[in-house]
Each structure stands twice: as structure tokens, then as C-alpha cells.
Amino acid sequence: MATDVLVGVVLILIGALSLFFGWQLFRLILALVGLTYGAAIGSLIANSIAPGEQTLALILAIIVGLLLAILAGVLWSLAIYISGAFLGAAVGLLLAPSIGAMGITQLVIVLGAAFIGLLLAIMLRKTIVILATAVNGAGLVMYGVSLFVPSLRVVTFVNGEMQIVSDSSTLALVILVVLALFGFLVQYNNSAAWRRSTVL
């Protein structure tokens, strides 16, 4: 339980930074979100290779998380495209369990959604930075809060596999969408000069 409290607080703090200050702290947020989603993807990879093997899941979560965090930090000039891919991956991570996808299928959906996010980022650039950081922030905040308030849990992990929590998903998803929209509007309103500039 102490681990859940620590993870919950960290997720809420990272999520709040991303939700409201994503475009201003973009390089930092990108690395933190890379670490977070990399850990989740590493866990999915481990589960598709050896279901229920917690040690492998932890090792791959750490390796993939650190790798994505480092890549995001070093390749920040490509940050717009990375953020679009993270946005897509976030949507894929939520979508896959809701349609019953597991193992390799779940991984393929997450990677496919990341690719679609990348394509959108190429077309929409700065708006995607704001949208991606708002959606990612809302998702991290909600997951962190759900560790304290289980009735708001949208997803849970069983033997390293992410599963949708059907009885609470509707309310939590509505809150998630409202929170993401609010974060997007706050960032969009505060970024007019940046959006008009040529600086990423």
C-alpha cells in the first residue's frame, strides 16, 4: 500500500505539470511522460512474452521507461512528433482493454495508436503539443487519484496485464475527458504568443 501511495502522488504531480504547464515545461514533461509510458509499454512487452512474470515485467518496465525518457530528452527537437506518439500510445493504452485486447494484440493496438498520433503531430505541430500534454496529464492525474479512490479506477493491472474496470469506467472517463479539455483550454489560452512564434 505504501508503494501505491508513492506512485499515486508521483503520478498526480507529473500529471498536473503536464496538464496545465505542458507547453512551458515541454522538455521536462516529455522526459517524465516518456519514463511513465515506457514503463507501461515495457510491462506490456514482458506480459506478452511471459504472462505473470513480475520480475521480467519490472526489469523491462525500468529499461524501456529509462530508454524512452533518455530518447525524449536527447531528441527534444523532435519533441512534437514524440509527443504525438505518446498521445496516441495513451489512447491505445486506454482503448485496448476496453475492447478486450490482451497480450500481443494489446501491444499492436498501442503501437498502432502511437503511429497515428505521430502522423497527426506532423500535421498539427504546436496544437498537438498542447493536446498531448493535456491528455497525458489528465490520464496520469486520474490514474494517480484512482490509487486513492478505487471507484474512479478506469484500468487495473492483473498479473502485469492491463484490464478495464467496467463498473466505474463511464464516470472516470467523463472526468478524464473534462479534465483533459480544461487543461487544453488553460494551456491554449496561455500560449497565444508561443503559438504565433516560430520557436517550438
Residue 153 is part of which domain span? Answer: 2-196
CB 97 within 8 A of CB 155: yes
Confidence band, pLDDT 50/70/90 cuts, at residue 189: very high
Mean pLDDT in residue range 66-95: 80
Q: What is the pLDDT of residue 149?
A: 86
Higher per-residue pLDDT: 113 or 43: 113
Mean pLDDT in residue range 174-180: 91
15-65, pLDDT tens digit by residue? 999 999 988 888 788 788 778 778 778 877 877 787 777 788 778 888 888
**Which residues does 189 contact at the CB level (< 8 Å), separation at least 6?**
none
Q: Measure Cα distances from 133 to 4, 55, 148, 149 in Å.
A: 23, 31, 23, 23
Structural domains of the chain, count? 1
Q: What is the pLDDT of residue 160?
A: 54
